Amino acid sequence: MFGVPVEVEPGILRLTLPLPTGPRHVHSYLVRGDDGWTLVDTGLGLPETPWAEIAAGLDAPVTRVFVTHMHPDHVGGAEAAAAATGAPVLQGQLDYAQCERVWGSDDWPRRIADWFLLHGVPEPVVEELIESGHVSADFVRFAWNPHPVRQGDEVDGWRVVATPGHADGHLCLLRDGVLIAGDHILAPITPAIGLYPESRPDPLGDYLDSLRLVEELAPRVAYGGHGAPVTDPAARAREIAAHHERRLDEVEAALDGVPRSGFELSHAVFGRELPPAQRRFAVAETLSHLERLVVLERAIRHEDDRRVTYTAP
Ligand SMILES: [Zn+2]
């Protein structure tokens, strides 16, 4: 049910909010600490989200809002949630910097359009891809100047764990074997790992490291932003890593001596017929795998100021 907190275990409530696209839902969490409830993630920012009612239904105040990452379905409701509860917003520094660049600036659509052109996306398709991004962007109301948090910080008894990959500045919370996972570990869907302009150079490499971290931490359960709780996060981390190994092989197999763009190679991996929103992810995901292959010396990148292409070594 949307908008009504449900207890998943003592002291942890799941709050599911609607999304107009994609998986159609996103989970926020309320976690009980010594001084009240911490709200983790805030949905897309749809104007009808009843934050005041949600807060009023709790047995203690919401004392802070914690943002795992700057994607629209996690940060979009931050301003409204903070306003309704009076609670401060906590967000990673790198994540907030990217959040401001993407959602808080007028020239982002132009910059991402140029970047898609650089990666071989034809002009009319670029227009479609940019258009598809507006579906979410119109609702995003992030909180300006949040309180910065970083890896290792304690938030009301929870430890902040940096898990870059799905987003460069992605953070999780960990306490007593419970990982509030954002979009780092999900089931049954696999988190998207894309390369985007002005992002870290090898997001898939970052992500695979962050999956290994989950194996080491071996939490009892992970509560993610979409789908079902993950009851064996270490095993799920291995499964997701294996999925990316297979995809790396697929992308590598599409390479030969002819320089090909990320757009062209995305056809080989994800097919030619995709609606714009999915094509956007397909290009970004193909590029993250290509950049990983470059690091592994299984691909070569060629670039000038007009075009980036890849070949087999
Ligand atoms: Zn999400």
User: What does pLDDT average to over the chain?
Assistant: 95
pLDDT at 21: 83
Instruction: Give per-residue pLDDT as tens, 255-309.
Output: 999 999 999 999 999 999 988 888 989 999 999 999 999 999 999 999 998 999 9
Q: How confident is the model at residue 131 (pLDDT cuts 50, 70, 90)?
A: confident
1, pLDDT greater than 80:
no
Look at residues 225, 282, 221 and name the one whose alpha carbon lies nearest to residue 75: 225
C-alpha 68 to ligand 1 mean position (Å): 10
Q: What is the pLDDT of residues 205-255, one digit of tens each?
A: 999 999 999 999 999 999 999 999 999 999 999 999 999 999 999 999 999
Q: Where is pLDDT greater, at 100 or 132?
A: 100
pTM: 0.96
Contact between residue 161 and residue 48 where contact means Cβ atoms under 8 Å apart: no
Strand pairing report for 89-92 and 62-67: parallel
Is 183 a residue whose pLDDT tops 80? yes
Q: From ligand 1's centre to the CA of 167, what distance in Å?
A: 10
All structural domains of the chain, each given as residue ranges with its CATH number in brackets, are 6-311 (3.60.15.10)
CA of 238 to the centre of ligand 1 (A): 20
For residue 82, the CA-to-ligand 1 centroid distance in Å is 19
Cα(38) to ligand 1 centroid in Å equals 18
Query: Are residues 136 and 21 in contact, defined by beta-carbon separation less than 8 angstroms?
Result: yes
Enumerate residues with CB within 5 Å of ligand 1 (an ion): 73, 183, 225
Q: State the distance from the centre of ligand 1 to the C-alpha of 252, rounded, in angstroms.
A: 28
* 152 CA from centroid of ligand 1 (Å): 23
User: What is the helix (H) or strand (E) element at residue 171, kind and residue range?
Assistant: strand 171-175
